[in-house]
Structure 1
Amino acid sequence: MKKFLLALTLAVCFQNGFAQEITLDKIYSGYYRGKGIAGISSMKNGEDYLVIEPNGIAKYSYKTSQKEGNIVDGQFSSYEFSDDESKILLLKESQPIYRHSFLGKFDIKDLKSGKIISLNEGKPVQEPRFSPDGTKIAFIVDNNIFYQDLDNGKIVQVTEHGVKNKVLNGLADWVYEEEFGHARLYEWTKNSNAIVFIKSVETDVPEIYIPIYGKSLYPQEMRYKYPKAGEKNSVVSAHIYLLEGEKKTKVNLDNFKNYYIPNVIQTAKPDEIVLITSERTQNASDILKVNIKTGSVQKLFTETDEKWIDTDNVTLEFLEDNSFLWGSERDGNRHLYWYDPNGKLKKQVTKGNWEVIDYYGYDPKSKDIYIQTTEKGSINKVVSKINIESGKSQLISNTEGNNSANFSKNYHYFIENTSTSAKPNTYTLKDGNGKIIKELQNNNDQLQKLKADNFVEKEFITIPNEAGDQMNAWVLKPKNFDPNKKYPLFMFQYSGPGSQQVSNSWDNGNTLWFNHLVQKGYIVACVDGRGTGYKGAKFKKATYMNLGKYEIEDQISAAKWFGNQPYIDKTRIGMFGWSFGGYMTSLAMTKGADIFKAGIAVAPVTNWRYYDSVYTERFLRTPQENPDGYDKNSPTEYADLLKGKFLLIHGTADDNVHFQNSMEFSEALIQNKKQFEFMAYPDKNHGIYGGQTRPQLYQKMTDFLLQNL
């Protein structure tokens, strides 16, 4: 009878979650998968919004939050309206190329007549875009720009001579796409009379080739242009194409910075375009206004910085009167500045010891701009509105966590997506002042499943470094944490310039794996040291010309700090990181060999000479200018210092951080008679996923830790 009662008690406990745990099988089966709302977009009237649902694109009322039906039936992964909302562009199929670019098959539906036509006769295109008057769509095929007249179906070729790995028209090359963050390099003028595009000649750019093994008898090759640090980049130029007369004109940029042209931006005026250009050093950018009729160029102003400008994070937004808002770190934090149409500074709009992260829009009636900021602390992101004239500000989101917003066109409503490290994403409909109208979607089921499996929440702390900074950190401790017990410590970080891993936000990724490890008896921690973002330009740019030096010093300092805590076993400290984080882990296991017992480096850069020009030179200049900045912070230079257990992982088809990095580091370790483990994932890119790849990868890393830490 006693045995029966004990068994019954254990069964009840198990059902109530006391004996359950977070497992890799559950993580990768989708058991904990959360819910979201896809494709939220306000309609022009400001009273209705659209979302992508499994059976079509549905329209909802902001006022009632009720569904009013589908505007289009079927399955689509994205959509885009013409400006007058008479037509909608629908993505039916897609095939990825690089991180942002893809080939897609598109349909256009006329919402008045119901007629559906295929873009480019149903053949794949890149980067389609409606003309502002909604009568045409431009697109790219085989590196050339075309446009299709939506009234008669006629397709007009805008550019010629586009050739893969030689000439691109209106399309970013690999490094532009990766480091400036977008693939499209053309724009319609506001009056739909012209297209301004960037031509990239990459003939002299060195080519990388990657073997693709697949199942063929002989491996195939993937070849593309990849300018590594200090090597030749594409030669870029700006051009105007006038639809009437099919006339093309080259824009003369000889008197301006013109090595990079990352941005082509439509203004509020019908016959002009703005270009943002930069020299190779990326510490100064010209903001140039191009007159489409005459081809003349006017410099509005030059943004400068003694270190670098975030050319991958540009905010330039034109208001109705053609004045504009510009994002800058010139006062030590990223804030917005208001300029008149001719480039004269009117005022600094936002101020304070915090940063503007995102710009959502401007309401010309109330004179309010809507922004996401760090006003409530660097680990939180909140949404505010601020009057552009009076400076009066109002917080309209939750005060804690990661809060973002999708506004109605009239700014009377917004859908807030909010999360914290302890609560997954919740979507809430609010009015323009932040008053809750209705909760649209939560993830309480996801959270309940995790809590039933003994999910633990992050504890946020700060840790000092040797420079006197307080570094943001989080810690995960076992549910039954005993302060008198010694635990092994597993540290995770990324540490790249402007990045953030210590954030009061929900993470569906590694945090679930970290909880799995916590349940195996580890304490897991993460520290954002110098070089990371949202704490001001000085903290972020402290690593300039010495990428990796101060970042690893801060991780070593953090490890020592943890090692001095009574509950940490200082002889059992490990580290894990991916990409830049893999680079840091490789440095930790060499320069920090006396501190770290085990490390896992996934897809690491091992010498910045092997990485791309735009990213690397932004922070280090070229190898020719700064050889020590490259070599003295490379883990290959310290391969002889390796002491602990080291697992190196890389995908053979990584187009971003090439497999070459791990091969070079491996050779350095081999020649220094160092033993280590190495795992190569065939034909996998920088993300290392597909099929059963992720479950196998995370099981391998888990087993490595259980055996070596």
Structure 2
Amino acid sequence: MTNFAKRFSLAVVCASLSACAATQNSVETQSSSNVAVVATAVIDASASMPDPDKPLTLTQIMADPDWIGREPEDAYWGSDSTTVYYQQKQQGSPIKDLFKTHINDTTNGQKVALSELHTAGDDGAVYNQQRNVKAWRFEGNLFVELLDSGEIRQLTRDQQSPHNLQFLLDGRLSYQSGDRFFAIDVYSGMTELLAHWTFKDEPKANEDPQDFIAKEQVALIDYVALQRTQREQRFAKRQQILKENPTTVPEPFYLPASHRTVEASLSPNGRWLIVSETEDKPSRSDGDIMPNYIGEDGRIKPEKVRQRVADAKPQDQSLWLMDLQRGEKRSLSYQTLPGFNEDVLADVKRENAEARGETYQANRLPREIGLMVDWYWDQSAIQWHSNGSTVAIMLEAWDNKDRWIATVDFKQGQLVSQHRLHDEAWINYKFNSFGWLNNSATLWYLSEHSGYAHLYTQVPGAKPKALTSGRYEVDEITLTHDDSYFYFQANIKHPGIYEIYRVAASGGEIQAQTDLNGYTDYVLSPDEQHLLLTHSKLTQPPELYHARVGGNQPVARLTHTVSEAFAQIDWQAPAIVPVASSHTQQPIFSRVYYPQNVEQGEKRRAVIFNHGAGYLQNAHLGWSGYFREFMFHNMLAQQGYVVMDMDYRASMGYGRDWRTAIYRQMGTPEIQDLRDGVNWLVENANVDRGRIGTYGGSYGGFMTFMALFTAPDLFEAGAALRPVTDWAHYNLPYTSNILNLPDIDPIAYRRSSPLYFAEGLEDPLLINAPMVDDNVFFVDVVRLVQRLIELEKENFETAIYPVEPHGFVQPSSWLDEYRRIYKLFEQEL
């Protein structure tokens, strides 16, 4: 390492840690020794430079990634708390195999035979109250293991796709199949239908006469009247049998016709059922298709795709509380929720109305509300206490501005709000885990209301108690069964370092469980004495590790799946740099790849990479999902480029304000951050301001467009891959959070979509577009290209990939794409 690089790395670490540590005085575990460890980790991360004698090539980088190794995926514990299972893809195939290893085994374990897969199942696994019986699904059937004896029993062989598995307080296993809940005795196999519901009108013995002729017929003809009387008698007898005979199945609950189930949840005591339902409207139209030109039959196939946000309409959900003992149902109104009818978008609507020369009058109509969408966190929005006596429900508004946690008053049949999280921008889809303590009527939940995601407990009706606080994010919560500890993942030491911690449920000091200085995730063992860790570093793909709980415990590596070919390469780990921001007090953390002797000779060329997904963190100290880009950046550094990879505003891991800076103005804060990055490169890395390019895919492609269209002085060239050009064509869940709906807030869409700024293109632009992309549709590129043609722009090129989805699959496509990107930079920089 050069003296310049050494001085620079140390300066980066000091600046980074001082910026982070100054805001973490609420964490008692943050100490000078921790700072020293982090500093050492970051310095070591930048110590390895590429070997000039073994230059990297695009052919190697973009080959089938199996040459790197096949990392362990979806790891979980066996019920004995010493066995570990994980998935690993087959060499040269997308097919995955299940492997089994032991906490004392370091040989990667052995593949589980196909005939034994049912014994290792973890799909929907649950334990009973005594934790001596475990249940799970395999291939649509139910299995249980009697843990005292190790006996495994198959309970069903019908492929009824059971889900919502739960042990009831009486020991039976309940499950949902369609719109029905069953309970099965794990010893006798006796199955009982507990409850079911259907979307149609409740049947009656006789239909009421509808017109004059029918009424007269009933009144005049004795035979007709007799038939109606006999039907009423048979109907009443049937109802009496169902009510008094304990061997019959219960009658269904009747819900509005033409509706469908959103979610249903049965109480552990089997007494209550909560059902959320909504009108069964199609989510897409016949026009939501994508032509697939390369099919097996040689014909064009119109693939069905998602709805566009511009076509979405608000949709309400209804909640029903069903008493299974009495056979009664009640509607749970949202009118007890604070703010249920606030016009939270009044200012936005007023601004848009004024732009049209109109006047907006605020309204107090009830908002559309439903269960919190579960598209990130793996749990139900309906959480019962383990004793079945109370329940908490997480609800959200369609407009994305409110999230509520409410309990249910069973006597009054109404919701009782316990926590309202309001955000003027939007409620995050992350950090919404919640539940109950097992042995007391106390809620726990994550909330961003302090500006960062933190853990709280709350006795219903009382104020919440913060168990964590500071400028860091808490996630992946696990509560021990005796309510002693909450385990969690957090980036306390540094925004880019994720470790495992625990805190007593009663509060107190946070206890670090790992000190690995990279990116670490975990699974707590069933006996709650072990941690199964998935850990990676900047140049090391994820591997499995084991440690005992308690902290300061030795960590044992369980898997070694990285290939020898990959391990032999002297990969350069990027330095983690806090770039000073001109628009916020927080630094912009970035990965920087340096060429050797960067400070010597002429000023260098540089490239800034824009990560995708928008809300994603890439400037962390773990292995990046952008592993091809990591290798490409190493290759560029070998050839004398400086490469920067920024966690621009909107990125994950830096708190609520960083996340919401792009509200109603996507592409504005991020380009301001790119300008700060360019200035940093010029001032600190010997870079020529006139020889800097940029590229990125998906959201990164959108940013490339916005940079070249709205700040043409910033870069000399850019490559936009699978890019968004018009946010009105993107999906509902992501886009409506940030820009509201197009018919409500067209100003935000016009302000944020590159299509409206195409006249600003001055520098060379490469557009790479997959044609069977069901995420960012190919039409995005088609419309922009037509706009550029009409604007008579000559400095752009388009490459299409007929068989590729959003994330490329074929190595030949990856290679072609990056050859074009590399050629652009070589020619223009």
Instruction: Pick the structure with more helix per residue.
Output: 2
What is the rounded CA distance, in whole Å, between the counterparts of 2:181 and 2:654 in structure 1? 44
Query: Which of 167, 176, 180 lines up with 1:138 in the alignment?
Result: 176
What is the rounded CA distance, in whole Å, between the counterparts of 2:613 and 2:159 in structure 1? 41
Q: How does 1:129-278 map to 2 (within 5 A)?
A: 129-133=164-168, 135-140=173-178, 151=189, 158=196, 160=198, 169-170=260-261, 185-192=263-270, 195-201=273-279, 203=281, 205=283, 207=285, 208-213=288-293, 214-216=295-297, 218-223=299-304, 226-229=307-310, 231-239=312-320, 250-256=331-337, 257=340, 258-262=368-372, 264-268=381-385, 269-278=387-396
Distance change (3 Å), C-alpha of 1:157 and 1:648? farther
| 1:501 counterpart letter in structure 2 | N
What is the rounded CA distance, in whole Å, between the counterparts of 1:170 and 1:702 in structure 2? 51
- Tell me the SS of whatever aligns to 2:636: helix
Contact 2:268 2:384 in 1 (8 A): yes
Q: Which residue of 1 aligns with 2:541?
A: 424
Query: Which of 656, 660, 670 lines up with 1:537 in the alignment?
Result: 656
Distance change (3 Å), C-alpha of 1:255 and 1:317? closer
Contact 2:642 2:685 in 1 (8 A): no
What is the rounded CA distance, in whole Å, between the counterparts of 2:783 and 2:682 in structure 1? 32
Query: Which of 665, 686, 696 lines up with 2:806 in the alignment?
Result: 686
Q: Give the C-alpha shift of residue 408 in structure 1.
A: 1.8
Larger Rg: 2
- Tell me the SS of whatever aligns to 1:637: helix
Instruction: Pick the structure with more strand per residue.
Output: 1
Q: 2:643 aligned with 1:527, yes or no? A: no
Structure 1 alignment gaps of length 5 or more: 1-15, 92-104, 172-184
Contact 2:490 2:501 in 1 (8 A): yes
- Tell me the SS of whatever aligns to 2:492: coil
- Tell me the SS of whatever aligns to 1:530: coil
Q: Which residue of 1 aligns with 2:422?
A: 304
Q: Give the C-alpha shift of residue 565 in structure 1.
A: 4.7
Contact 1:60 1:68 in 2 (8 A): no
Distance change (3 Å), C-alpha of 1:459 and 1:249? same
CA RMSD of aligned residues (A): 3.8
What is the rounded CA distance, in whole Å, between the counterparts of 2:409 and 2:113 in structure 1? 39
Q: Which residue of 1 aligns with 2:359?
A: none
TM-score (norm 1): 0.81
Distance change (3 Å), C-alpha of 1:329 and 1:230? farther
Q: Give the C-alpha shift of residue 509 in structure 1.
A: 4.2
Distance change (3 Å), C-alpha of 1:200 and 1:489? farther
Q: Give the C-alpha shift of residue 397 in structure 1.
A: 0.8
Q: Give the C-alpha shift of residue 295 in structure 1.
A: 4.7
Q: Which residue of 2 aligns with 1:412?
A: 529
Q: Give the C-alpha shift of residue 221 in structure 1.
A: 2.7
Contact 2:434 2:446 in 1 (8 A): yes
**330-339 or 20-29, which moves further after superposition?**
20-29
What is the rounded CA distance, in whole Å, between the counterparts of 2:107 and 2:526 in structure 1? 16
**303-312 or 456-465, which moves further after superposition?**
303-312
| 1:236 counterpart letter in structure 2 | Q
Q: Which residue of 2 aligns with 1:180?
A: none
What is the rounded CA distance, in whole Å, between the counterparts of 2:271 and 2:86 in structure 1? 32
The alignment-based identity, stated in percent, is 18
Q: How does 1:302-701 map to 2 (within 5 A)?
A: 302-320=420-438, 321-340=440-459, 342-362=460-480, 364=482, 367-398=484-515, 400-437=517-554, 439-441=556-558, 443=560, 445-446=562-563, 449-450=565-566, 452-469=568-585, 470-479=587-596, 481=598, 483-494=600-611, 498-507=615-624, 508-565=627-684, 567-675=686-794, 676-682=796-802, 684-690=804-810, 692-701=812-821
Distance change (3 Å), C-alpha of 1:326 and 1:110? closer
1:370-398: CA deviation from partner (whole Å, max 9, x where unpaired): 12112101111121112233411221211
Structure 2 alignment gaps of length 5 or more: 1-50, 89-95, 201-256, 341-367, 374-380
Distance change (3 Å), C-alpha of 1:520 and 1:259? same
Q: Give the C-alpha shift of residue 311 in structure 1.
A: 3.6
| 1:40 counterpart letter in structure 2 | A
| 1:198 counterpart letter in structure 2 | S
Contact 2:61 2:628 in 1 (8 A): no
Q: Which residue of 1 aligns with 2:45?
A: none
What is the rounded CA distance, in whole Å, between the counterparts of 1:634 and 1:35 in structure 2? 38
What is the rounded CA distance, in whole Å, between the counterparts of 1:291 and 1:216 in structure 2? 59
- Tell me the SS of whatever aligns to 2:691: strand
Distance change (3 Å), C-alpha of 1:78 and 1:33? farther
**291-300 or 559-568, which moves further after superposition?**
291-300
Distance change (3 Å), C-alpha of 1:154 and 1:327? closer
Distance change (3 Å), C-alpha of 1:22 and 1:441? farther
Greater RCO, CA 8 A, separation 6+ = 2
Distance change (3 Å), C-alpha of 1:52 and 1:60? farther
Q: Give the C-alpha shift of residue 170 in structure 1.
A: 4.3
1:225-262: CA deviation from partner (whole Å, max 9, x where unpaired): 62515740444223456777987765433544443422
What is the rounded CA distance, in whole Å, between the counterparts of 1:697 and 1:233 in structure 2? 39
What is the rounded CA distance, in whole Å, between the counterparts of 2:529 and 2:481 in structure 1? 10
What is the rounded CA distance, in whole Å, between the counterparts of 1:70 and 1:246 in structure 2? 47
Contact 1:301 1:343 in 2 (8 A): no
Contact 2:334 2:369 in 1 (8 A): no
1:439-493: CA deviation from partner (whole Å, max 9, x where unpaired): 23355854x6346334211012122232254211111123564632333212112
Contact 2:309 2:742 in 1 (8 A): no
What is the rounded CA distance, in whole Å, between the counterparts of 1:522 and 1:66 in structure 2? 38
What is the rounded CA distance, in whole Å, between the counterparts of 2:87 and 2:738 in structure 1? 40
Q: Which residue of 2 aligns with 1:96?
A: none
- Tell me the SS of whatever aligns to 1:344: coil
Q: 2:75 aligned with 1:40, yes or no? A: yes
- Tell me the SS of whatever aligns to 1:574: strand
Distance change (3 Å), C-alpha of 1:614 and 1:423? closer
**60-69 or 210-219, which moves further after superposition?**
60-69
What is the rounded CA distance, in whole Å, between the counterparts of 2:104 and 2:659 in structure 1? 40
What is the rounded CA distance, in whole Å, between the counterparts of 1:572 and 1:69 in structure 2? 51
Distance change (3 Å), C-alpha of 1:632 and 1:328? same
Count of residues paired in the alignment? 656
Contact 1:22 1:512 in 2 (8 A): no
Contact 1:56 1:73 in 2 (8 A): no
Q: Which residue of 2 aligns with 1:288?
A: 406
- Tell me the SS of whatever aligns to 1:374: strand
- Tell me the SS of whatever aligns to 1:424: strand
| 1:201 counterpart letter in structure 2 | E
Q: Which residue of 2 aligns with 1:4?
A: none
Contact 2:538 2:573 in 1 (8 A): yes
Q: Give the C-alpha shift of residue 90 in structure 1.
A: 4.7
TM-score (norm 2): 0.70
What is the rounded CA distance, in whole Å, between the counterparts of 1:157 and 1:275 in structure 2? 20
1:16-41: CA deviation from partner (whole Å, max 9, x where unpaired): 99435354335523354345444433
Contact 1:473 1:502 in 2 (8 A): yes
| 1:647 counterpart letter in structure 2 | L
| 2:581 counterpart letter in structure 1 | N
**320-329 or 687-696, which moves further after superposition?**
687-696
Q: Give the C-alpha shift of residue 307 in structure 1.
A: 2.8
Q: Which residue of 2 aligns with 1:3?
A: none
